[in-house]
């Protein structure tokens, strides 16, 4: 039982409570046999033990030796190699992810190689699995996993931000081109005298001297006057789409929704 160096187990009462009874209970629960303990005594002192074995009618080992998915898993094979019973190995393989089991086996092997396991290696492995022992390597792996997940999330948000920013610029450019073309068509359809009067009226409404000069050169293609031009021509009865309607028709998203998400992502990535 690998308890030679455990002083408290020199008393049978402690040995029976902490070692024998838990082991017997586990065998009776997980195996196809049932174990019953008999003691031999001299006076009040226990001098010998006998274990009586009989079939366990509640459990069957059918499939234990068949090549099913569990038996073929790396976790199951490694556990059996480490001295774990087939029944318990199957139970753990079903209960825990393979990565979890393999990490515990790796931990136990490292501890055994460094001479830190004083009792049973299989017993140490059992405790490591059931109580989730973790090595420094496991902790570092988990730390790196968290870091990588955070990096992946940031990359995903950066990609989304870039996509939204490009979408916004493309929408604005496309909307400007469409409105400019519609305005220019309406403008060219006017008589010369009416066009001159219209240019004069609109130029007077431009408050910025810079944009007024730009308008005299580029007319309706002047970037800074688009909003005013749309309002001016809409007032004359030209059916120009609003930026909101245009955006929804192209992306099903409103401009303020796109901008709100952009601001949210910029704040998270700052």
Quote the pLDDT of residue 113. Answer: 85
Q: What are the structural domain ranges in the chain?
A: 1-60, 62-134, 153-269
Q: Please provide the average confidence, as pLDDT, over all residues in the chain.
A: 87
Q: What is the tens place of the pLDDT at every residue in 216-262?
A: 999 999 988 999 999 999 999 999 999 999 999 999 999 999 999 99
Lowest mean pLDDT among 64-73, 148-157, 195-204: 64-73
* pLDDT average, residue stretch 190-209: 92
pLDDT top residue among 42 and 168: 168
- Would you place residue 116 in the very low, low, confident or very high pLDDT band (cuts 50, 70, 90)? confident
Would you give the distance in Å from CA 72 to the centre of its chain? Answer: 28
Q: What is the pTM of this model?
A: 0.51
Q: Are 228 and 214 in contact (CB under 8 A)?
A: no
- Would you place residue 114 in the very low, low, confident or very high pLDDT band (cuts 50, 70, 90)? confident
Does domain 1-60 fall under CATH 1.10.10.60? My reply is no
Structure tokens at 169: 């610029």
Bridge partners of 49, per DSSP, are 39
Residue 242 phi/psi, 5-degree rounding, is -75, 160
What 3-state class would DSSP assign to 245?
Answer: helix
What 3-state class would DSSP assign to 38?
Answer: strand
Structure tokens at 268: 């998270």
* pLDDT average, residue stretch 176-191: 94
What 3-state class would DSSP assign to 207?
Answer: coil
- Strands, E assignment, the chain: 33-42, 45-55
What 3-state class would DSSP assign to 205?
Answer: helix
């Amino acid at each position: 039982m690998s308890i030679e160096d455990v002083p408290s187990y020199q008393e049978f009462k402690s040995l029976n409570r902490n070692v024998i009874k838990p082991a017997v209970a586990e065998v009776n629960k997980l195996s196809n046999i049932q174990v019953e303990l008999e003691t031999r005594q001299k006076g009040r002192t226990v001098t010998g033990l006998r274990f009586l074995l009989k079939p366990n009618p509640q459990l069957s080992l059918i499939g234990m030796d068949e090549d099913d998915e569990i038996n073929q898993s790396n976790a199951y094979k490694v556990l059996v190699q480490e001295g774990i019973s087939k029944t318990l190995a199957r139970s753990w393989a079903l209960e825990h992810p393979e990565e979890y089991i393999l990490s515990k086996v790796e931990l136990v092997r490292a501890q055994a190689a460094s001479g830190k396991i004083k009792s049973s290696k299989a017993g140490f492995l059992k405790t490591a699995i059931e109580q989730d022992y973790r090595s420094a390597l496991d902790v570092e792996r988990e730390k790196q996993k968290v870091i990588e997940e955070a990096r992946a999330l940031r990359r995903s948000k950066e990609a989304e931000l870039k996509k939204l920013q490009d979408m916004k610029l493309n929408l604005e450019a496309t909307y400007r081109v469409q409105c400019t073309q519609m305005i220019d068509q309406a403008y060219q359809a006017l008589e010369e005298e009416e066009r001159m009067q219209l240019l004069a009226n609109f130029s007077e409404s431009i408050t910025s001297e810079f944009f007024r000069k730009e308008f005299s050169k580029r007319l309706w293609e002047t970037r800074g006057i688009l909003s005013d031009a749309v309002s001016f021509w809409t007032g004359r009865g030209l059916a120009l789409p609003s930026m909101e309607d245009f955006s929804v028709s192209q992306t099903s998203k409103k401009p303020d929704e796109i901008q709100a998400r952009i601001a949210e992502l910029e704040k998270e990535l700052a």
